Amino acid sequence: MRLNNIKWNIDVIGKTKVWFTISGIIILAGLIALFTMGFNWGLDFTGGTVAEFNMHRTVTTTINNEITNILKNNGVKESQVKAIGPNNTHVSITTPSLDDKTRTAVINALKSKYKLSDKDLVSSQNVSASIGKEMQFGTLLACAVAALLMLIYIGFRFNFEMGAAAVLALIHDILIMISAYALLRIVVDTPFVAAILTVFGYSINDTIVIFDRIRDNIKLMRKSSYKEIANVSVNETMTRSINTVMTVLLMLILMYFFGPASIKSFALPLLVGITSGAYSSIFIASPLWVIFKDREGKNRVGNKVGNKPQKA
């Protein structure tokens, strides 16, 4: 094995059962939570009232918090407040469907607090839950199409076994994200959907780097087993994988703890997904490839034995 000049020496493939067990426990716990409690759907999916105000000033985190407190003081415990428009001078407020009395009280409180007029209420409308169902379907369709295209691309660039392993690793990442949201009761909203598609792209990139090294080492290590080739390839790319993911995670952690609420809701699923993506590229995709190649070899041997003429 080519481990003389490699910084890492981890038997990744030899501990395949350990990695699969860790993922299996997390996913199983998440699925149990999902089927027993369901998702904590956000207002983007359940529907509600959406209002937009022209604030005539830049909507800062302080203003966001003030508006949230005004809503809570009027009995609206769940809400989403986001700065929008040119120079973030408009604010979008999404709440569960409000009765006329509560809606009027909230509007008057905002007008009084920020010296707004009637024309500063740009729009106010009810959003049907059916739109949320369309978003759910659109997300599933986008993920399915993306997985299919990635399978075709990787199968064409490398081979089918690598394509299948990469797609299964992507499915693993999505299941981990779903499990985290179901277990921790995190609100599932639009940023979660965007994060899933982002994780798709990030995770597959790291997997391709490892598979590219495996392809090179297959030519250089002709007498080695698939397990040995995969182990060497993973260890050769380990430093690159860790440095890349830590750079991204550091920025996401800063976004989550110091960014406004609108950014936090996007940073959190990315934190979970990027971490899972880095894990799956090393500990899920590579072992799966070895399993597929070993089975392929056994099938070939079995076919050769089965085709031998039987002695009389």
Task: Give tens-digit pLDDT for 186-243.
Answer: 888 777 877 887 887 788 888 888 999 999 999 888 888 999 999 999 999 998 888 8
Query: 102: which 2 tokens?
Result: 């509560």
- Does the structure show a pLDDT above 80 at 30? yes
pLDDT for 70: 92
Q: pLDDT grade, residue 307 (50/70/90)?
A: very low
CA 119 to chain centroid, in Å, comes to 40
Q: pLDDT grade, residue 310 (50/70/90)?
A: very low
- Rounded CA gap, 248 and 234, in Å? 20
Helix/strand/coil for 223 = coil
- Rounded CA gap, 276 and 27, in Å? 12
Q: 43 CB contacts (<8 Å, ≥6 apart)? A: 78, 79, 80, 94, 95, 96, 127, 189
pLDDT for 110: 92
Q: 259 CB contacts (<8 Å, ≥6 apart)? A: 267
- The CATH number corresponding to 48-127 among 3.30.70.3400, 3.10.28.10, 2.40.50.100, 3.40.50.300 equals 3.30.70.3400
pLDDT digits (tens, 9 = 90+) for 43-61: 777 778 888 999 999 888 8
- Rounded CA gap, 79 and 71, in Å? 8
- Rounded CA gap, 192 and 273, in Å? 10
- Find the helix or strand (DSSP H, E) in which 203 lies: helix 190-220
pLDDT digits (tens, 9 = 90+) for 139-189: 778 778 877 887 787 778 778 888 889 889 988 998 999 999 899 888 887
Burial group, residue 95, by CB count within 10 angstroms (0-12, 13-18, 19+): buried
- Rounded CA gap, 139 and 153, in Å? 21
- Cβ(238)–Cβ(278) below 8 Å: no
What residue ranges do the domains of the chain occupy?
A: 3-42+131-303, 48-127
Q: 183 CB contacts (<8 Å, ≥6 apart)? A: 29, 30, 33
| CATH class, range 3-42+131-303 | mainly alpha
pLDDT for 53: 92
**Helix-helix angle 160-184:129-157, to 10 degrees:** 150
pLDDT digits (tens, 9 = 90+) for 56-105: 998 888 888 899 999 999 988 888 888 888 788 999 888 888 888 888 89
